[in-house]
C-alpha cells in the first residue's frame, strides 16, 4: 500500500485568488479534501472529480466535528495511504489549530507537510486599506486571539504590554468579546482616541468595514457578526486614503450567473474583479451530440464547402476535436466565418483567423456580412452548431441562395434544478441581478425556478440579457428584463450591469 501524506494547506482569508500556487497544486492532486467552512467553496472545484470531500465545519463555535475527531480523521486517512489535503481558512499555523493537527499526525507516524496561507490578520486590513505596519505609524504588530475571555483572572495575554508596547494590534475572532477587549486595552494604558476598525468578511464581496476610535468602536460595530478582525492603531487612519477594495462598483452586489459551469469562469472572474458576490447557478450543460456521424461526414467533405460558419466557442471546440480525430488540421478548412469575438477568439486558439465577422453579433448581421463579400447563390456552407439551435441563421443563408448543411456539433442540455439556498435568495430579494448569456440559459432558469414561482421572485431581482435573441426568449417566457447588452459579448454584458448600478 502506498504511504499516505497529509498536507495542511492554508486556503487564504476568503478571496479564492489568494490561495498559493503550492496550495492549488496539492488541492488538485489530493484523493481526500478535508475542509473548513471558512475555506472558500469555490476552491473545491479545483479538486479532482473523484476526490472525497469532507466538510468539518468550524465556524463561530458551531463545529461539525470536534477538533479531536478531525485529528483522528486525518490520521485515519493518512494511514489508509491517502493523499490528503486539509484545507483550512487563512494560515494553518495562525490561530488555525494546525499545530494540533500536525502534532497528532506526528505522534501517529503519519507524514505531513505544511503549506502556509495568507492570514486574515494581514489580508483583511489590507483589503480595507489598512497596512498593519507603516514607517510613519507603526513598526510593530501583534496578532492576538479574541476568543480568550478577557475577564478571566488568569489571562494568558499580557494586556499591559499589548496596550502600550505594540504599534498595531490585530485581534482574530474578537467580535463577541469586543467590549471587554476595549476595556482591557484602555484600562492598561491604550488611549481611547486610538483609531480602530472592525473588518467583517475581509477579502470577500461581503466585506464590511466599520471605523472609529477605541473608545467607541464597540458601539459602532454592534451589528457586526463573525468572521471579523479588530485592528487597533494609528495605521487605521490611512484607510481614508487607501481603501481600494470597497470602492469597486459592484461590491456587495449578488449576481447569479446561469451559464454552464465549464464556461462561466470568464464572466465570474470579470464580475468578481469588480467586487460582485457571484452565485453560480448553471441552468445548462454542454454535452456531445447524440451522434457524431453527420459532423464526421461533413468533415470528410470539407473541400466541397465554400464556408464554415461558427456561431459559438462550443461549436469551435467540438468541430476541431472531431477534425483532429479524423487526422486533419486547420489546413483542411475553407474560408471561415464567426458570429462574434468570443467565437473568433476560440478560432484563434486553434490557429485560425476568421475571414468574416459581423460588426453586430447576430445571425442576420452575419448573413449581411457574408453577402457583402460575395453573392451567396450557389455557395455551399457548413454550419456546425448546437442541436435544436434557432433557425433564423440557416434560413437567412438559404434565402440568400446558399446551400446549407447544418450539423449537430454539441447539445445544450437544460439543468432543470436549482439549489434551495439560491432559490431562497431569489424569492427574498437577496439577489441583485440574474444574467442570461443565451436563450438556453433563460429556458433553463425558468424550468429550474418553475413558471409558477417566476412571478413570486422579488421585484428587487433584475434580469440582464446578452443580446436580442436571448431577450426575445426572455420576453416569450415572461422574464422581465432590466437591460440588454449593447455589445453582445461577455464584456458587453458586464457593461450593461455597470450601467444599472
Q: Supply the residues annotated as catalytic.
A: 36, 58, 173
Report helix, strand or coil for 75.
Answer: helix
Our measurement of the distance from residue 105's CA atom to the centroid of its chain's CA atoms, rounded to an integer in Å, reads: 33
C-alpha radius of gyration, the chain, whole number: 28
DSSP sequence for 292-338: SHHHHHHHHTGGG-SEEEE-SHHHHHHHHHHHHHTT--GGG--EEEE
How far apart are the C-alpha atoms of 431 and 426, rounded to whole Å?
5
Residue 55 and residue 35 in contact, taking contact as beta carbons nearer than 8 Å: yes
Alpha-carbon torsion, ordered 143, 141, 182, 120, to 10 deg: -40
Residue 270: how many CB atoms within 10 A of its CB?
17
DSSP sequence for 331-373: GG--EEEESSHHHHHHHHHTT---SB--SS-SHHHHHHHHHHH
How far apart are the C-alpha atoms of 97 and 412, rounded to whole Å?
46
- Residue listed under C-alpha cell 501517529: 108
- Residue listed under C-alpha cell 425556478: 449
Cell numbers standing for residue 122: 494581514
Which residues sit opposite 288 in a β-bridge? none
Residue of 276, 28, 3, 242 whose CA lies nearest to 132 = 242
Cell numbers standing for residue 346: 476560440
59: Cβ–Cβ under 8 A, 6 or more apart, which residues? 36, 37, 38, 226, 227
- Residue listed under C-alpha cell 492598561: 188
How far apart are the C-alpha atoms of 47 and 32, rounded to whole Å?
9
Residue of 303, 257, 254 whose CA lies nearest to 274 = 254
Amino acid at each position: 500500500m502506498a504511504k499516505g501524506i497529509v498536507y495542511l494547506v492554508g486556503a487564504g482569508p476568503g478571496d479564492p485568488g489568494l490561495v498559493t500556487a503550492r496550495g492549488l497544486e496539492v488541492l488538485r492532486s489530493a484523493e481526500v479534501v478535508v475542509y473548513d467552512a471558512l475555506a472558500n467553496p469555490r476552491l473545491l472545484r479545483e479538486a479532482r472529480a473523484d476526490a472525497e470531500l469532507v466538510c468539518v465545519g468550524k465556524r463561530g463555535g458551531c463545529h461539525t466535528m470536534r477538533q479531536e475527531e478531525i485529528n483522528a480523521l486525518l490520521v485515519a486517512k493518512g494511514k489508509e495511504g491517502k493523499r490528503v489535503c486539509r484545507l483550512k481558512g487563512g494560515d494553518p499555523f495562525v490561530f488555525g489549530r494546525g499545530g494540533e493537527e500536525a502534532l497528532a499526525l506526528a505522534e501517529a507516524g503519519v507524514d505531513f507537510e505544511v503549506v502556509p496561507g495568507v492570514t486574515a490578520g494581514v489580508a483583511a486590513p489590507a483589503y480595507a486599506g489598512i497596512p498593519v505596519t507603516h514607517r510613519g505609524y507603526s513598526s510593530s504588530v501583534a496578532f492576538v486571539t479574541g476568543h480568550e475571555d478577557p475577564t478571566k483572572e488568569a489571562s494568558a495575554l499580557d494586556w499591559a504590554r499589548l496596550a502600550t508596547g505594540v504599534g498595531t494590534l490585530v485581534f482574530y475572532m474578537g467580535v463577541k468579546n469586543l467590549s471587554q477587549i476595549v476595556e482591557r486595552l484602555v484600562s492598561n494604558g491604550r488611549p481611547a482616541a486610538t483609531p480602530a476598525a472592525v473588518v467583517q468578511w475581509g477579502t470577500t464581496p461581503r466585506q464590511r468595514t466599520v471605523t472609529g476610535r477605541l473608545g467607541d468602536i464597540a458601539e459602532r460595530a454592534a451589528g457586526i457578526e463573525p468572521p471579523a478582525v479588530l485592528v487597533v492603531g494609528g495605521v487605521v487612519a490611512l484607510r481614508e486614503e487607501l481603501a481600494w477594495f470597497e470602492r469597486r462598483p459592484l461590491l456587495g452586489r449578488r449576481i447569479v450567473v446561469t451559464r454552464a459551469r465549464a464556461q462561466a469562469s470568464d464572466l465570474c472572474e470579470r464580475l468578481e474583479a469588480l467586487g460582485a458576490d457571484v452565485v453560480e447557478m448553471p441552468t445548462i450543460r454542454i454535452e456531445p451530440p447524440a451522434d457524431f456521424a453527420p459532423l464526421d461526414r461533413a468533415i470528410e467533405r470539407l473541400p466541397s464547402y465554400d464556408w464554415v460558419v461558427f456561431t459559438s466557442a462550443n461549436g469551435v471546440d467540438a468541430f476541431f476535436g472531431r477534425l483532429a480525430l479524423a487526422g486533419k488540421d486547420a489546413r483542411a478548412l475553407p474560408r471561415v466565418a464567426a458570429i462574434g469575438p468570443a467565437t473568433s477568439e476560440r478560432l484563434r486558439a486553434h490557429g485560425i483567423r476568421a475571414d468574416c465577422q459581423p460588426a453586430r453579433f447576430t445571425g442576420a448581421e452575419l448573413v449581411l456580412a457574408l453577402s457583402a463579400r460575395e453573392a451567396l447563390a450557389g455557395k455551399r456552407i457548413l454550419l456546425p452548431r448546437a442541436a435544436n439551435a434557432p433557425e433564423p441563421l440557416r434560413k437567412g443563408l438559404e434565402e440568400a441562395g446558399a446551400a446549407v448543411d447544418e450539423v449537430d456539433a454539441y447539445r445544450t442540455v437544460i439543468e432543470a434544478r436549482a439549489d434551495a439556498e439560491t432559490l431562497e435568495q431569489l424569492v427574498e430579494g437577496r439577489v441583485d441581478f440574474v444574467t442570461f448569456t443565451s436563450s438556453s440559459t433563460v429556458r433553463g432558469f425558468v424550468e429550474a425556478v418553475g413558471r409558477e414561482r417566476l412571478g413570486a421572485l422579488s421585484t428587487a431581482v433584475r434580469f440582464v440579457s446578452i443580446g436580442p435573441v436571448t431577450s426575445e426568449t426572455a420576453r416569450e417566457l415572461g422574464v422581465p428584463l432590466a437591460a440588454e447588452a449593447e455589445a453582445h459579448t461577455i464584456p458587453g454584458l458586464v457593461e450593461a450591469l455597470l450601467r444599472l448600478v
